[in-house]
Structure formats: C-alpha cells, structure tokens
C-alpha cells in the first residue's frame, strides 16, 4: 500500500511538472520523472511512501465551519475598520504555545490564521510549538490565545494522530 501511494504521489508530481511547463511531450514527462527521482534520492526523508492522513469527518466539518466563521468575522471587522472615519487599530504581536500540534498541524493552523485579514503569523517554532501572530485588533491577549488554541484543538481532533487526540483530554 505504501508503494502504491508513493507511485501515485510521483505521478501527481510529474503531472504538476508537465502543467508548469505547459506542454505535454515525452521530453517533459521524462524530465519530470528525472526531477522527481533526483529529489527522492537527494532528500530521502521526503520519500514517496507516505502514510495516509487521519481524517475524522465530523471534526473536520467543525474545523471547516470554525475557519469559515472566523474568516467571515475577520473580513467584517477589517471592512468596518477601513470604512470607519477614525481608525481603532491596536496592533500587537502575541506568542501562542500549541503543545499538542505536530509539524503538519502547526503548519495547517498557521496557514489558516494567515488567511484571515488582520492576523498574520510572523514566526512558527517547532520545539516548543509556538506561533507568533501579528494582530491588527488586539484587545485581549488571553482571549486571542484561547481562540487560537481552540482552533488548534479542532485541527488535532479532525486530523491528528490518535495519540495527539488522547493528549488533549
């Protein structure tokens, strides 16, 4: 099964290579295969055999709903700020520890936070797992940390390993 997943990923990478060149030719397919092989040989940890991610559908829907609601709220807040006659901007940088996040989930949470207007991850550290956020409207540091931790908890429950989920309890 691992080998099949690796071949599928290799095929996707070669297809992306061909799409980037914009020409389906034997030369592009062969050169794409060579590049994929060189990457796998040069960086063995990348390997094309990867494990299938864990997805818990109900928690994934809750995560997606939370993201969409958060994005909608952020768009409204920034829109009101743009149209307001007097700005009420109170910027700040906040460190938010996320101890239960793997590298993958830390990346997911950071990218989701970067989607929202008014919030920008400026640094992510792995050990310990911390996201440093620049926030346009900072009113309560602890409320912001609790909000980001709730998002991270939903990400762990939706996509985390069984061990990570057990660690939340």
30-69: pLDDT as tens digits: 998 898 888 777 765 555 555 556 789 999 999 999 999 9
| CB atoms closer than 10 angstroms to residue 152 | 27
- What is the arrangement of strands in the sheet containing 129-135, beginning at the earlier edge strand? 92-97, 129-135, 119-126
Q: Examine the pLDDT at 18 and tell me if it is beyond 60.
A: yes
Question: Ramachandran region of residue 150, left (φ > 0), alpha (ψ -120 to 50) or beta?
Answer: alpha
Q: What is the DSSP string of 71-92?
A: HHHHHHHHHHHHH-SS---B-E
Closest CA to 117 of 84, 150, 70, 164: 70
d(CA 50, CA 46): 9
pLDDT confidence of residue 1: 39
């Amino acid at each position: 099964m691992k080998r099949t997943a690796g071949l599928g990923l290799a095929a996707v990478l070669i297809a992306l290579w061909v799409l980037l060149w914009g020409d389906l030719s034997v030369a592009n397919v062969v050169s794409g295969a060579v590049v994929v092989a060189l990457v796998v040989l040069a960086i063995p940890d990348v390997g094309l055999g990867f494990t299938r991610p864990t997805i818990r559908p109900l928690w994934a829907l809750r995560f997606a709903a939370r993201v969409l609601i958060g994005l909608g709220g952020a768009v409204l807040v920034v829109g009101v700020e743009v149209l307001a006659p007097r700005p009420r901007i109170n910027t700040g940088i906040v460190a938010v520890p996320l101890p239960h996040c793997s590298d993958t989930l830390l990346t997911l949470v950071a990218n989701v936070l970067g989607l929202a207007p008014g919030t920008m991850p400026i640094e992510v550290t792995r050990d310990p797992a911390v996201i440093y956020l620049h926030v346009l409207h900072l009113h309560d540091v602890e409320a912001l940390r609790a909000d980001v931790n709730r998002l991270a908890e939903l990400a762990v429950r939706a996509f985390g390993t069984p061990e990570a989920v057990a660690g939340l309890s």
